[in-house]
Amino acid sequence: MRLLYNFGIKLFVLALKIASIRNNKAKRWVEGRKGLLKKIKKEQNPGEKVIWVHCASLGEFEQGRPLIEEIRRRFPEKKILLTFFSPSGYEVQKNYQGVEYIYYLPADTRRNARRFIKFCNPEIVFFIKYEYWYNYLSILKKKKIPTYFVSTIFRKDQLFFKKRGGWYRKMLKLVTHFFLQNQESADLLLSLKITNFSITGDTRFDRVAHILENVKPVPLVEKFLNGQKAIIAGSSWKAEEALLMQYYRINPSHKLIIVPHEVNEENTKRICQLFDNNIVVYSKFNSTYSPDKKVMIVDQYGLLTSIYQYGFLALIGGGFGAGIHNVLEAATFGMPVIFGPNHQKFKEAIDMTELHCAFTVNNIEDFNPLLTHLLKNPALLVELSQKASEYVKANVGATNKILDAVFDK
What does the pLDDT average to over 210-237? 95
Other beta carbons within 10 Å of 170: 15
Question: What pLDDT shows up at residue 291?
Answer: 72
Contact 305, 61 (CB under 8 A): no
Question: What pLDDT shows up at residue 45?
Answer: 87
What does the pLDDT average to over 107-115? 97
Are residues 51 and 118 both part of a single domain?
yes
Are residues 291 and 371 both part of a single domain?
yes
User: Would 160 be classed as within a structural domain?
Assistant: yes
CA torsion sign, 22 to 302 to 327 to 199? positive
Query: pLDDT-derived band of residue 2, with 50, 70 and 90 as boundaries?
Result: confident
User: Would 5 be classed as within a structural domain?
Assistant: no
User: Would 4 be classed as within a structural domain?
Assistant: no
What does the pLDDT average to over 17-26? 93
Question: What pLDDT shows up at residue 252?
Answer: 85
Each residue's pLDDT tens digit, 124-167: 999 999 899 999 999 999 999 999 999 999 999 999 999 989 99
Are residues 386 and 404 both part of a single domain?
no
User: Would 10 be classed as within a structural domain?
Assistant: no
Distance CA 139, CA 115 (A): 10
User: Would 232 be classed as within a structural domain?
Assistant: yes
Are residues 227 and 200 both part of a single domain?
no
Query: pLDDT-derived band of residue 48, with 50, 70 and 90 as boundaries?
Result: confident
Question: What pLDDT shows up at residue 109?
Answer: 97
Contact 235, 325 (CB under 8 A): yes
Q: Quick check: 409 pLDDT over 70?
A: no
User: Would 6 be classed as within a structural domain?
Assistant: no
Are residues 197 and 245 both part of a single domain?
no
Q: Quick check: 103 pLDDT over 90?
A: yes
Question: What pLDDT shows up at residue 118?
Answer: 95
Query: pLDDT-derived band of residue 46, with 50, 70 and 90 as boundaries?
Result: confident
What does the pLDDT average to over 188-215? 96
Q: What is the 3-state secondary structure (H, E, C) of the chain?
A: CHHHHHHHHHHHHHHHHHHCCCCHHHHHHHHCCCCHHHHHHHHCCCCCCEEEEEECCHHHHHHHHHHHHHHHHHCCCCEEEEEECCHHHHHHHCCCCCCCEEEECCCCCHHHHHHHHHHHCEEEEEEECCCCCHHHHHHHHHCCCCEEEEEECCCCCCHHHCHHHHHHHHHHCCCCEEEECCHHHHHHHHHCCCCCEEECCCCHHHHHHHHHHCCCCCHHHHHHHCCCCEEEEEEECHHHHHHHHHHHCCCCCCEEEEEECCCCHHHHHHHHHHCCCCCEEHHHCCCCCCCCCCEEECCCCCCHHHHHHHEEEEEECCCCCCCCCCCHHHHCCCCCEEECCCCCCCHHHHHHHHCCCEEECCCHHHHHHHHHHHHCCHHHHHHHHHHHHHHHHHCCCHHHHHHHHHHHC
Q: What is the CATH number of the domain that holds 278?
A: 3.40.50.2000
Question: What pLDDT shows up at residue 59?
Answer: 87
Mean pLDDT computed over every residue of the chain: 94
Q: Quick check: 289 pLDDT over 70?
A: no
Are residues 167 and 132 both part of a single domain?
yes
Using a 10 angstrom Cβ sphere, with 0-12 exposed, 13-18 middle and 19 or more buried, the burial of residue 171 is middle
User: Would 12 be classed as within a structural domain?
Assistant: no
Give the chain's domain count. 2
Query: pLDDT-derived band of residue 287, with 50, 70 and 90 as boundaries?
Result: low
Are residues 119 and 223 both part of a single domain?
no
- Could you tell me the residue range of the domain that residue 51 belongs to? 17-210+397-408
- Cα–Cα nearest to 118, from 54, 227, 45, 36: 45
Across the strands, what pairs with 15? none
Q: What is the CATH number of the domain that holds 67?
A: 3.40.50.11720
Q: Quick check: 253 pLDDT over 90?
A: no
Using a pLDDT cut of 70, give the percent of the chain over it. 99
Are residues 139 and 252 both part of a single domain?
no
Are residues 233 and 249 both part of a single domain?
yes
Question: What pLDDT shows up at residue 211?
Answer: 94
Q: Quick check: 290 pLDDT over 70?
A: no
What does the pLDDT average to over 193-222? 96
- Cα–Cα nearest to 403, from 90, 166, 101, 67: 67
Q: Which of 89-103, 196-210, 280-294, 375-389 has the lowest mean pLDDT?
A: 280-294
Question: What pLDDT shows up at residue 286?
Answer: 74
Each residue's pLDDT tens digit, 49-75: 899 999 999 889 999 999 999 999 999
Are residues 63 and 92 both part of a single domain?
yes
Are residues 102 and 206 both part of a single domain?
yes
Using a pLDDT cut of 90, give the percent of the chain over it. 89
Are residues 377 and 245 both part of a single domain?
yes
User: Would 9 be classed as within a structural domain?
Assistant: no
